[in-house]
Structure formats: structure tokens, C-alpha cells
Chain A
Amino acid sequence: MNVVVCVKQIPDPAAPPSLDPGTHNLIRAGKLILDDSDAYGVEMALQLVDKAGEGEVTLVSMTPNGETSGLRTALAMGAAKAILISDDSLAGTDALGTAKVLAAAIKRAEPDLILAATESTDGYTGTTPVQIAEILGLPSVTFAKKVEIDGGSLKVERQTEAGYDEVESPLPALVTVTAGVVEPRYPSFKGIMAAKSKPVETLTIADLGIDAGQVGAIGARQEITDVSASEERASGEIVVDEGDAHQRVIQFLEQLKVL
């Protein structure tokens, strides 16, 4: 059971985000870490391979600047190796361009299953995984809250607006997982040490036969023309509770005729 997990290395979400004033691209300088949303996919993959008794987890990721520290975190959790596509021309790539690059790399790994988060924490476009599935000609199941492999086929509980659906699919397939799907392990010290020497194959887009015109800002075929502050809500009233604040809430609701 070979599983590929698509992972993204993002600026630390705790730090205030900012846009490049010229291009309006998200600034991705400074330390990049493994997107928290991807820890669930990595953990799910490790558990599925473990259950199958054979196979391995390969990470696939894209970066404009050769960064690998987020990958090492996922390798420390137990993934076997990584494929990193690193190329200057990737700066400003949109979701579809990203999907084309990742799909080309994933194809080389020939996995039985591809996992990804439902969306990244920094870009949250949310379409890249199904775009990858379409490019590779594979079925996809998104928003999985439970994933099992049973007799060579995929069984997923997929969230819906009304509750959840039980979905089945043949393999190979692509699944996006929600945060509740598993509890990600913390890498052990042994895992962190081992991660340092696990293979990270670095490729350029030329290695994948992809033209620079398909990626980057040009390939994106979209642009941000303006960024401005949204209308701020007027500041509200603050009440420090000293035992009676609930009365103020009741008064507030009465004024609104909710009560």
C-alpha cells in the first residue's frame, strides 16, 4: 500500500501575514513550517500503511525556494521519503498550476492512494486536490472524516451539509481529510534524527516536462488588482463581569427585540 501525501510548507500562521505590495502575492519569506492541516494526512497515511503491513508514505511538495524544514517534520513523523519540486518560476503559481506540478511528480511515485488536506491554512483555495485527481484521471472523495481500505477498495465517511455519506471507490484514488480524521503523532527524538537522512528528491519543473508558462504568475491567468481594509465594525461596548454581566446581555437582547 503506497500512499502519497501532498504537503505544503507555509509561513508560520502565528506571525501576521502580509502581501507583497507590488504583486499582491502572499509573502512566503522567512521560516516555512509544515501546514498543520497536512499533519492529519501524514498521520492517516502512516496508519493505513501500517495496517496494510507493507508499503510506504511518500511526501510530495512544491516550493519556489528550496525550503525543506516542513518536509523534515513530516519525515520525522514516519514518512519514508519526499519529492520536492523547487523552481524560481513557481512563485505566484495558482491552484491549477500547483495541481499540474504536483500531479506530474505524483505520477512518478505511482501510489495506490493520494491524501491531502481539504485546503491549505494560508491560501485556502481548496481546489488543488481535486484538480490533481482530474489531471491524473482518478476518482476523488473530499472532506473525509474516516478513511479505511477494505479488500483493495476505499471506504470513506464524507461530511455533507446534512450529516455524512458513506462513499466507496476503487483504488487508486485521491482523498482529502478533515482535521478530525485522526490524532497526529508527535515526532519522536528518534524520528527527528532519522528524518535528517531520509531522501528528499529535488526536481525542477523542467525535470517534470512542465513549461514555465504553465506556472507562476503567468500561468495563473488571474491577478489581484487591489487590496484595501474592509469596513470596520464600530467598536463595541466592553463589560468586565463582576457577577452581573449577564444582565447587560439580557438588556442588549431586549433592545434588539430578540427577547
Chain B
Amino acid sequence: MSIDKIWVLAEVADGKPITASLELISHAKSLAGTVEAVAYGEGTSAIAGTLGEYGATTVHDVGDLGGSLPGAPVASAIAAAIEAGNGPDAILFPATYDGRDIAGRLSAKIDRPVLTNVVGLVAGDGGLTTQHAIFGGAQIATARFVGDGPGLFVIRAKSFPAETSGGGPAEVVAAAATESGPTDGAKIVASHVEERTGPKLDEASVVVSGGRGLGEKENYALIEELASLLKGAAGASRAIVDAGWVPYSHQVGQTGKTVKPTVYMACGISGATQHLVGMKNSKNIVAINKDQDAPIFSVADLGIVGDVHKVLPKLIEALKARG
């Protein structure tokens, strides 16, 4: 399978394509002659310029979904576009909630397997080869599809840089309308946006995260205060999100956010493999944990074996004293 054409799912948030989609478009441009985007919602024309700058020459517009969850209708639209001919050799999806849904449903619809948790993608003879971080990132598995395409790939954020290549706006082409069927039954009736102060977790250059070692919900305030003093974002391990101490939007890890800040501080976090996957490529890692055998110390550049209840308040006080 030689790679002539790659499609990339361009998810939109706040009227702009998400960074993860731009990362995929730029990377696709290094792999294939033609890169096209697939977008849905009302704002496709408004993003055609940005998609073009990053390398897409066409954007297939699925249009307004009328409140439906994207999984089923967007998968149908992509399947129909492939059927219509001029389909791609590969389709790249960002590993977001909707990206995973669309990729999974499309996979079943066109009976093609899907590779997920992709962190690397290269072209070779015989097609595209993927890399996957397994066992918490301790090992890298290399994989590929066997058989007919298109290959479906769900790719983790921050696997590639997002780079513009100076292209003109992508041409907007309406994707053929498909009949809505029973699979399209799930509808969004209300959206709730969590309040956030400070930088976004997956964009902050400093992230301070807390885990079960904090002991109780109230102690998360130490994490928030430290994050704020360092002008960073506050994150969390899955353990404390599951326990209801903080909302899911704070979660860093396998099913949470992937972060690559200049400094990641893991406080009271043991370093379970599913957490490491989300932060192990941070430039500098500081860990504070009272267990010297905690796995987090194997990735920390500076590891403090100590009690977060003692170290954090002193750290906060000292930072405040600096003014």
C-alpha cells in the first residue's frame, strides 16, 4: 500500500481546529502527496484557512449534526465518501472522546481494523508503520496493518509537532448527506463547561498534579495554590478523579490528558503505568512521594522522598516569601 492520500479528522473547539488535529495534518503532509481534512459542525468554512496553512488542500464538510453525538453520523459520512470513490489510503483521528467514537464506528462500518494509542507513524515499503507505548511507556511496540486499506489510526496528542507549511485555504467540499438511522439516536441536550482559571492543562508550561498521597480532598487546595504560584495548571491522577476529589478535566494519563510541560510536578502520585503514559515525556519531572520505591521516581529528574503534607506547605510558603 503506497501512501498517496491521507484524511485527517479535524475536530473543532472554540471555533478553531484543535491542536491535535493540526499535529496530524502537519505529520500527514510528510507522509503523503495529498492531505485532506474531514470536519463537522457549523464552522467548517471558518477553519478552512487554518487547515490549509497546516497542509490540507480539501476539507470534506459533514455539516451541522443537529445535536447528534458525532460518532455515528460522522462515521456514516466518511464511509459514504470512501464508497463514492477517491477515498484515502489512511485516516488519522486524534485520540479525543469523539475521535475514538468516530474511528471505532467507522471501523465496524467498513470492516477495517483500527490501531489506537499510536505515538509514532512512519511510511515504509508496504505502507504505514505505527509505534505504541506499552507497559506504561517502558517499551515501544511497532505495528502495521496487513491487508487492504484504508488504515484507521487513532493518535495520541503531542505525538508530532504542529507546523504550518504556508498553504492557501483548503477547498470546502460538502460530504454527501447520509440517511440518519437508529445508530444516530444519541442527542446532546445541554453542554456544561467547567470554569477554569489559569492556563489549559495540556498547554501549560508548568503542571502540578496531585494523587492519592494527598490523603483527602481538601488537601488538593495545596496543588491548586502551588500551580497558581508557578503560573501553571493543576492536574490529577486517575485515583483522585475516580474518588471525586476533582473533575475529570484535570486527569492526566491513559484516558486523561497527555501533557508535555517544561516542568511536571507529581505530588503524592505513585506513578502507575496509566498515569506515566500521560506525562512521561515532560521535559523535567519533579516527584514528591513518601515511598522511595514508588515507580514515579524512575522517571523523575528530581525526586523528593518525603511527605507531601510537610513539603508542599513549606514550598508554598517559601515561594510566597519571594514575592
Contact = CB atoms under 8 A, between A and B. Distances in A.
Interface of A: 17, 19, 24, 94-96, 99, 118-119, 124-135, 137-143, 145, 158-170, 173, 178-180, 220-230, 233, 235-241, 243, 245-250, 252-253, 256, 258-259
Contacts of A96: 107-108, 111-114
Chain B interface, DSSP helix/strand/loop, else mixed:
mixed
Nearest to A97: B113
B311 interface: yes
Interface residues of B, number: 92
A249 B302 contact: yes
A162 B195 CA distance: 9
B244 interface: yes
Interface stretch (B54-62, B82-90, B184-192, B209-217): B184-192
A121 B188 CA distance: 29
A131 B108 contact: yes
A238 B205 CA distance: 23
Contacts of B191: 160, 162-166
A238 B140 contact: no
Given A166-B190, A166-B192, A239 B104 contact: no
A148 B250 CA distance: 25
B181 A240 contact: no
B146 A223 contact: yes
B91 to A, nearest CB: 14
A99 B285 CA distance: 39
B143 A223 contact: yes
Nearest to B192: A163
B183 A139 contact: yes
A142 B192 contact: no
B305 A252 contact: no
A252 B302 contact: yes
B283 to A, nearest CB: 8
Nearest to B249: A163
A130 B99 CA distance: 12
Interface string B88-105: 000000001100110111
